Amino acid sequence: DAGVTQSPTHLIKTRGQQVTLRCSPISGHKSVSWYQQVLGQGPQFIFQYYEKEERGRGNFPDRFSARQFPNYSSELNVNALLLGDSALYLCASSLALNKLFFGSGTQLSVL
Amino acid sequence: DAKTTQPNSMESNEEEPVHLPCNHSTISGTDYIHWYRQLPSQGPEYVIHGLTSNVNNRMASLAIAEDRKSSTLILHRATLRDAAVYYCILRPNNNDMRFGAGTRLTVKP
């Protein structure tokens, strides 16, 4: 079975631009979570969705938004990019709200 | 949020057991103790979790103190492939997972 897939794997943007990251969960998983990982630090929680509803939100500005689609895939949007948004963005899926399965992430570079 | 404290780094020799400690003195009764690890250039990977009793699986063992204020992840025979950052996380019920800085484990041949 395919694991969690994220696209694109790498992305370069400039300050002020907007970016959309995509995540396909493991088949049958209804929950998707998004994390930001800056180099040298642990992943920081951004959002959690379950059955297309937001179930949790981390301490991130309103420039960050997400949604989950009827097929349980998800998108993370970041507006007005800042240099500090450069990071690895990780998506994780889970059956209900238990053990998380992570993708390999999207490496975002903001220039 | 309840916090965890882990050593920044640890070293182990290959084929020897490794005990990774985690302190969580402010743990509440509904917090599950989760361990994940992150290998280089990969997303985190589930290792084990528990609530009150010690737990074993094919990857590791989790020893939980009687007062639940600390726990220890035990790798019974470290291999080079176990070199990773290990995260100890408290998770209330099944809510979102909040990671700390973790322990970087180095395994020497």
Q: Are A110 and A83 in contact, with CB atoms under 8 Å apart?
A: yes
**Interface contact flag, A58 B96, Cβ < 8 Å:** yes
DSSP state of B5: B
pLDDT band at A97 (very low <50, low <70, confident <90, very high): low
- pLDDT (tens digit per residue) in A47-79: 999 999 999 899 999 999 999 999 999 999 999
Using CA atoms, how far apart are residues A60 and B82, in angstroms rounded to an integer?
Answer: 32
Q: What is the pLDDT of residue A47?
A: 93
Which residues is A67 bridged to in the sheet? A75
Residues of chain B with pLDDT under 50: none
B8 touches chain A (CB under 8 A): no
Residue in B46, B96, B101 closest to A48 by CB: B96
Q: What does DSSP say about strands B45-50 and A53-57: parallel, antiparallel, or unpaired? A: unpaired
B95 touches chain A (CB under 8 A): yes
Amino acid at A37: Q
Q: What is the pLDDT of residue B8?
A: 96
Please name the residue of chain B whose CA is at the shortest distance from the CA of residue A105: B43
Mean pLDDT over residues A71-90, rounded?
97
The better pLDDT of the pair A95, A110 is held by: A110
Q: What is the pLDDT of residue A10?
A: 96
Residue B76 neighbours by CB distance under 10 Å: 11
Taking the CA atoms of residue A108, residue B3, residue B9 and residue B11 in that order, the dihedral angle to the nearest 10 degrees is -120
Q: What is the pLDDT of residue B97?
A: 80
Q: What is the pLDDT of residue A99?
A: 87
Using CA atoms, how far apart are residues A52 and B64, in angstroms rounded to an integer?
Answer: 35
Q: What is the pLDDT of residue A88?
A: 97
B97 touches chain A (CB under 8 A): yes
Q: What is the pLDDT of residue B93?
A: 67
Which residues in chain A are contacts of B45 at CB distance < 8 A? 102
Q: What is the pLDDT of residue B30?
A: 86
List residues of A whose CB lies inside 8 A of any B CB. 4, 33, 35, 41-45, 48, 55-56, 58, 90, 92, 96-105
Give the mutation candidate from A38, A97, A104 for the B interface (greatest B CB count, under 10 A): A97
Residue in A55, A97, A104 closest to B43 by CB: A104
Using CA atoms, how far apart are residues A34 and B8, in angstroms rounded to an integer?
Answer: 25
B1 touches chain A (CB under 8 A): no
Q: What is the pLDDT of residue B29?
A: 87
Does the pLDDT of residue A81 top 70, yes or no?
yes
Residue in B43, B85, B102 closest to A103 by CB: B43
Q: What is the pLDDT of residue B41?
A: 86
Q: What is the pLDDT of residue B94?
A: 60
What's chain A's average pLDDT? 94
**Interface contact flag, A45 B98, Cβ < 8 Å:** yes
